[in-house]
A and B are shown apart, each in its own frame.
Chain A
Amino acid sequence: MKLRFIEIKMKKRGEKPTFMLSVIIRLLSLAMGLGVVAALFLLQGVNPLLLYFNIFRVAFFTQYGLAETLSRMIPLLCIGIGLSVPFRAKIDNIGAEGQFLVGAIAAAGVAFSFPDLPAVLLIPLMFAAGFALGALWAIPVAIFRVMGKFKGADVVLSFLMVFPAYLLIVYLVNGPWKDPEGWGFTQSPLFPVNSQIWQLPGTRIHLTILLVLALTFLIHYYLVRTKEGIPETKLGYEINVVGENPEAGAAAGINFLKIALITMIISGGMAGLAGVGEVAGNLLRLRPEISTGLGFTGIVVAWLGGLNPLGIILSSLFFAGLLAGGVEIQMAGLPVTVIDLFNGSILFFVLLAEFFMRFKIEWRILK
């Protein structure tokens, strides 16, 4: 008896998949992720199609929902765009959550220290501090990624650095920045008026959205976009080289540590900016649970967007919609943490899609 009756071969694709094909592969992976979650909904006795429809309707076709979607999009886009930069250089930063949290801490620190500065000075100062602290939180990851003995520890390290950031907030809001009128809630007092970022009246869409869109454009223009196959900057070119073949990059004399540091500073800094925007523009207080996993969702946002700024705008909109439409999930009688299910299963299939971008499967039946 012959056991082997089928032959399956993985083959490297000769050419990169076309733009259309890559979009189709990603959309399929998204659909599969939603499919898996739908199966879980069914097990809970919830009609997934109806639920998806309601989430979609609330998130994009109600005034309140759309405003909420755009408000949720601000941190997701900021984190996702930032993450795409090291991801393109094959550096894994899964600690955006921690970088986001320290950004929020920096914002609170500046706001409470200089409450009397005029807003035009205070708010930029908060963003600068948030960027700096976020970047600082990310730098060890770059070092661990590159330095001899630690190779590969970057994933673990970037993840572990989330927890000190979180515990630092817990400490601060229970200690030095405890709200005296907080009735025992673990939170800081309301941010001083001068430090509050202007919101579109009646919504929670704050001005940070302009900053984020500007940064998205800058990263697209200077690092990603190519004309005649050549990016605008040397850094953009080097990131591509290192991401495609780090050995060849090193052989040509590109300093990997430099690339790792710069990309991680951009990534950590942008997560920090997102943290500033979130506390100063939306929540107006520091609390331990400010993030609700935005930093992790940002990873999925970046990959689903194909690490391309324009794609990331769309994917961040999609996930923001899921978050905003999340009320519908609760209405259906499911816990709101179901959102994490979406994150996980979609990331799983999106990463699988990356595999299909590089390889194709061929099979034949053996005679």
Chain B
Amino acid sequence: MVTVLKMQNICKSFVGEGGGEIRANDNITFTLKRGEVHALLGENGAGKSTLVMNLCREPDSGTVILNGEKVELHSPRDALKHGIGIAYQDLSRTLVERHTIAENILSLATGFLLSPSAIEEAIREALVEYDLGELDPQMSIWKLSGGEKQRVEILKALITNPDILILDEPTSMQTPLEVERLFSLIETLKAQGKSVVIITHHLGEAIRISNRITVLRGGKVVDTLDEVRVEAMKKEPEKGARELAQLMVGREVLYDLERKGLQEGPIVLATQDLRVNNDMGVQVVNSVSFKVRGNQILGIAGVAGNGQRELVESIVHWREATGGNIHLHGEVITNKPIKEIRDRGVSFVPENRKKALILNMSVRANLMISYYADTPGLFVDREAMIKKTDGLIKRFSIETPSPLAPVRSLSGGNRQKVVVARELSRQPPKGEQLLLIAENPTFGLDVATTQFVRQELLKMRTAGAAVLLVSSDLTEIMTLSDMIAVMYKGKIIGVLDASSATRESVGLLMGGVVGETSNVGEDELIEA
């Protein structure tokens, strides 16, 4: 088969919030053949979306070769002209919410005279041709469900009849039936000789639909699996998923952390049939029940985007729980005011650092946000706050020129230390245990800081806290947890005791493959 697209030695870096450089694409070479479906796999932050975005903006370095010719693509319009249709992942940035479907697609039209009715007609025809289901071209985008929006985005990419179609996580909000339809559409396109790149982190889907698979990790290509290997995987999808999961999460070299055996404490947090929606209004946490005890770390494993974020955010009420209950120390705290929940001894290290830190304010002001209200009255206890924040900076060795330096001027690792220091030092009410929720606490950190954060989490466990650790990093889950629950498509599909769990068994569950090992744990968890 002929190579239609070759991206050679692509590098793309971003300046991180701390001024540090993030190498999102580090010398990536990627080829796409005519008439093939090529899956790009990898965790969040692996560089998948960044890679395909290089087709509509210039990379820092590297060349894009299209049909044997070197091209420079400066904008989405350039990509369109060269026959590349892209359905982007971040719909809030590609669809205009207040406009109708037709108006959104009108933006692709060429020429000076625009005819809404002609566009609407074209949309109706395309919907039938590509079997994308019912969509009213005159409907405003904001009225659509997440899945419908995704279909509009796919339609937008298809309607120009491109030779190369790029789908960035096209199935994340679709129902199984719609996924089936999309997959048969992809088959049809393939038969017509078009080439498709599909980005996903669902291993099963990748194996099913694609001819070749490229796995990315940390901005680099880990491996490209050729047709023969993918074909072999199709025969044994379970084994294939396991292999892919291992490629995706990799193995980090870390010193061993000391984990003492501890007596389990009382139940601190328990959820019951918890249901939560994502930002698009799609339910992504489907009846999740689990419990966390004192002196225990419950690790929630799973490929990012399976509802973990929504789950933890609903516990601290950053997000509304739409159903079910959350119990803290036996009392219902579902959708209570954030302050009330936090005052009962809940600490949260979120992945979303934008909500955890105020970059323009000083290290001290950021640290005291969890403590300034500890004393009654209208005034801040200045002496106590200075002592407290200076103590935290020292104990957690936060590298800052001064407590008054803005957090913006700190490196990424030290920023995370600010959050960790603040949240891990909070005192629970007398006689109760702290609940610590850590969501990908070491994401994007260097090895030393990662090690430090993990050690601090273990210290919390020893001190009696109940720790709920959400991480898409399998190594982190395996080294820290007492119990491991695996989340897949909004459900906990398996619970394993850490002593008996293996990388393989967890990795398999992460890919959505339910084996026999998992059932025991799940029963045990729900029964209480």
Chain A residues close to B by CB (< 8 Å): 4, 12, 14-16, 227-237, 240-241, 244-245, 247-255
Whether a CB of chain A sits under 8 angstroms from the CB of B247 is no
Interface size class of B (residues with CB under 8 A): 35 or more
Q: Are A253 and B408 in contact (CB under 8 A)?
A: no
| Complex contacts, A250 vs chain B, CB 8 Å | 338
Q: Chain B, 229-246, contact with A by CB distance < 8 Å: what is the 0/1 string?
A: 000000000000000000
Q: Chain B, 356-384, contact with A by CB distance < 8 Å: what is the 0/1 string?
A: 11111110110011101100001110100
Q: Which residue of A lies closest to B366 (CB)?
A: A248
Whether a CB of chain A sits under 8 angstroms from the CB of B329 is no
Whether a CB of chain A sits under 8 angstroms from the CB of B339 is yes
Most chain B CB inside 10 Å of its own CB: which residue of A228, A235, A250, A254: A228
Q: Considering the complex, which residues of chain B in the window 340-361 have a beta carbon less than 8 Å from any beta carbon of chain A? A: 340, 342-343, 350, 354-361
In the complex where A232-B379, A233-B380 touch, is A248 in contact with B342 (Cβ < 8 A)?
no
> Which listed residue, B337, B361, B378, B382, touches A244 by the CB 8 Å rule?
B361
| Complex contacts, B369 vs chain A, CB 8 Å | 241, 248, 252
A contacts with B: majority SS: mixed
Q: Are A229 and B409 in contact (CB under 8 A)?
A: no
Task: Say how far B356's CB is from chain A's closest CB, in angstroms.
Answer: 7
Q: Considering the complex, which residues of chain B in the window 292-345 have a beta carbon less than 8 Å from any beta carbon of chain A? A: 316, 318, 337-340, 342-343
Chain B residues close to A by CB (< 8 Å): 19, 74, 316, 318, 337-340, 342-343, 350, 354-362, 364-365, 368-370, 372-373, 378-380, 382, 385-386, 403-404, 406, 408-409
Q: Are B380 and A230 in contact (CB under 8 A)?
A: yes
| Complex contacts, A237 vs chain B, CB 8 Å | 365, 368, 372, 380
* Listed A/B pairs (24) with beta-carbon separation below 8 Å: A12-B408, A14-B408, A228-B386, A228-B403, A229-B365, A230-B368, A230-B386, A231-B380, A232-B382, A233-B378, A233-B379, A234-B378, A234-B380, A240-B361, A245-B355, A245-B358, A245-B360, A245-B361, A247-B354, A248-B369, A250-B338, A251-B318, A251-B350, A251-B355
| Complex contacts, B373 vs chain A, CB 8 Å | 234
How far apart are the CA atoms of A227 and B379 in the complex, in Å? Answer: 13
Q: Are B385 and A230 in contact (CB under 8 A)?
A: yes
How far apart are the CA atoms of A235 and B385 in the complex, in Å? Answer: 15
> Which listed residue, A234, A236, A253, touches B337 by the CB 8 Å rule?
A253
Q: Are A248 and B357 in contact (CB under 8 A)?
A: yes
Q: Which residue of B lies closest to A228 (CB)?
A: B386
> Which listed residue, B74, B318, B404, touches A229 by the CB 8 Å rule?
B404
How far apart are the CA atoms of A208 and B336 in the complex, in Å? Answer: 46
How far apart are the CA atoms of A227 and B354 in the complex, in Å? Answer: 26
Task: Say how far B74's CB is from chain A's closest CB, in angstroms.
Answer: 7
Q: Which residue of A lies closest to B359 (CB)?
A: A245
Q: Are B355 and A247 in contact (CB under 8 A)?
A: yes
| Complex contacts, A4 vs chain B, CB 8 Å | 74
| Complex contacts, B337 vs chain A, CB 8 Å | 253, 255
| Complex contacts, A228 vs chain B, CB 8 Å | 364, 382, 386, 403-404
Task: Say how far B104's CB is from chain A's closest CB, in angstroms.
Answer: 22
| Complex contacts, B385 vs chain A, CB 8 Å | 230
Q: Which residue of A lies closest to B382 (CB)?
A: A230
Most chain B CB inside 10 Å of its own CB: which residue of A14, A230, A231, A236: A230
How far apart are the CA atoms of A64 and B385 in the complex, in Å? Answer: 51
> Which listed residue, A12, A229, A252, touches B364 by the CB 8 Å rule?
A229
Q: Which residue of A lies closest to B363 (CB)?
A: A229
Task: Say how far B97's CB is from chain A's closest CB, in angstroms.
Answer: 14
How far apart are the CA atoms of A232 and B385 in the complex, in Å? Answer: 12
| Complex contacts, A253 vs chain B, CB 8 Å | 337-340, 342-343
| Complex contacts, B342 vs chain A, CB 8 Å | 252-253
Q: Which residue of A lies closest to B370 (CB)?
A: A252
Task: Say how far B424's CB is from chain A's closest CB, in angstroms.
Answer: 15
Q: Are A15 and B406 in contact (CB under 8 A)?
A: yes
| Complex contacts, A255 vs chain B, CB 8 Å | 337, 339
Task: Say how far A249's CB is from chain B's closest CB, in angstroms.
Answer: 8
Q: Are B338 and A14 in contact (CB under 8 A)?
A: no
In the complex where A14-B19, A234-B379, A241-B369 touch, is A229 in contact with B355 (Cβ < 8 A)?
no
| Complex contacts, B350 vs chain A, CB 8 Å | 251
How far apart are the CA atoms of A15 and B405 in the complex, in Å? Answer: 9
> Which listed residue, B340, B358, B409, touches A14 by the CB 8 Å rule?
B409
| Complex contacts, A251 vs chain B, CB 8 Å | 316, 318, 338, 350, 355-356
How far apart are the CA atoms of A252 and B369 in the complex, in Å? Answer: 7
Task: Say how far B20's CB is from chain A's closest CB, in angstroms.
Answer: 12
How far apart are the CA atoms of A14 and B357 in the complex, in Å? Answer: 15
How far apart are the CA atoms of A14 and B316 in the complex, in Å? Answer: 31
Q: Which residue of A lies closest to B365 (CB)?
A: A229
How far apart are the CA atoms of A344 and B171 in the complex, in Å? Answer: 51
Task: Say how far A261's CB is from chain B's closest CB, in angstroms.
Answer: 15
Task: Say how far B436's CB is from chain A's closest CB, in angstroms.
Answer: 16
How far apart are the CA atoms of A188 and B368 in the complex, in Å? Answer: 54
Given contacts A4-B74, A250-B338, list 19 more A-B pairs with CB under 8 A: A15-B406, A16-B360, A227-B382, A228-B386, A229-B365, A229-B404, A230-B364, A234-B373, A234-B378, A240-B361, A241-B361, A244-B361, A245-B355, A245-B360, A248-B358, A252-B369, A252-B370, A253-B343, A255-B337
Task: Say how far A9's CB is from chain B's closest CB, in angstroms.
Answer: 11
| Complex contacts, B372 vs chain A, CB 8 Å | 234, 237
Most chain B CB inside 10 Å of its own CB: which residue of A4, A232, A244, A251: A251
